[in-house]
Structure 1
Amino acid sequence: MGGESKTFTLAEVSEHNNRKDCWLVIEGKVYNVTKFLEDHPGGDEVLLSATGKDATDDFEDVGHSSSARAMMDEFYVGEIDSSTIPTKKQYTPPKQPHYNQDKTSEFIVKLLQFLVPLIILGLAVGIRIYTKET
């Protein structure tokens, strides 16, 4: 890496988004991976789909080896201006009522209180019809 590094905005990096000119942002650094597209084990589409955004999570999720990380130095072109990267929104799950075992038990009891008499009535009618026919 060495020397003076250049700083790019995300918009500038996003312009390099095709097979002939492909740049990625990983961990605040900008990489020109155009020459690596054909050799990438996951295929060029994986790299092309990561352009125009911070690809750090995509890179980390795969679990790249230390040798893959060392290869990145030869593709380094500069730093990203972090103020140009949109902040990630934290997922907040929807508020749900606390699970109450007693309410669930109440529901099951009420359901059985309704269904059991119907089943008994159905059996009684069925037996009566069956005995009349024979």
Structure 2
Amino acid sequence: MGGERKVYTLAEVSEHNDPKDCWLVIDGKVFNVTKFLEDHPGGDDVLLSATGKDATDDFEDVGHSSSARAMMDEFYVGDIDSSSIPSKVKYTPPKQPHYNQDKTPEFIIKLLQFLVPLLILGLAVGLRFYAKST
């Protein structure tokens, strides 16, 4: 990685996204991996799918060997302008209303919670009076 370092924006790097011209961003550095596409053990599709974004996480998740990391030096073309990479946003799931499993409207449930005990009480009292009168 010698000499003067060229700085690229993500938009500039994103233009290099096909098998004849493929650039990647890994650890803040830009790599022209076009010549390596055919030799990549994971296939060229893996590299092509990592274009146009910061591919650091993809690279790290695979667990590349130290020899693979050393090989990257020959593909280095410059650095990425970190301000051109969108920041990662933490996913926050949308707030959802209480789940009503049987889809019964809530007012009916509340009405039944009030009326059913009254009905049971009424039946108990009615049976007691019926039993006394017979």
Runs of 4+ in 1 over 3 A off after TM superposition: 92-96
How far the C-alpha of 1:65 sits from its partner, in A, is: 0.5
Root mean square deviation of aligned Cα:
1.3
Q: Distance in 2 between matches of 1:31 and 1:75?
A: 5
Structure number with larger C-alpha Rg? 2
The superposition leaves residues 78-119 of structure 1 with CA deviations (integer Å, 9 ceiling, x where unpaired) of: 0000000000112345679xxxxxxxxxxxxxxxxxxxxxxx
SS state at 1:23 partner: strand
Alignment-derived partner of residue 67 in structure 2: 67
| SS at 1:38 equivalent | helix
CA distance in 2 between partners of 1:28 and 1:92 (Å): 27
TM-score (norm: length of structure 1): 0.68
Structure 2 residue aligned with 1:26: 26
Aligned-residue sequence identity (percent) comes to 86
Equivalent pairs counted in the alignment come to 96
> In structure 1, what is the Cα distance between the partners aligned to 2:72 and 2:89?
28
TM-score, length-scaled by structure 2: 0.68
Residue 13 of structure 1 aligns to a residue in which SS?
A: helix
Secondary structure (helix, strand or coil) at the match of 1:37 reads helix
Which blocks of at least 5 consecutive residues in structure 2 are unaligned?
97-134
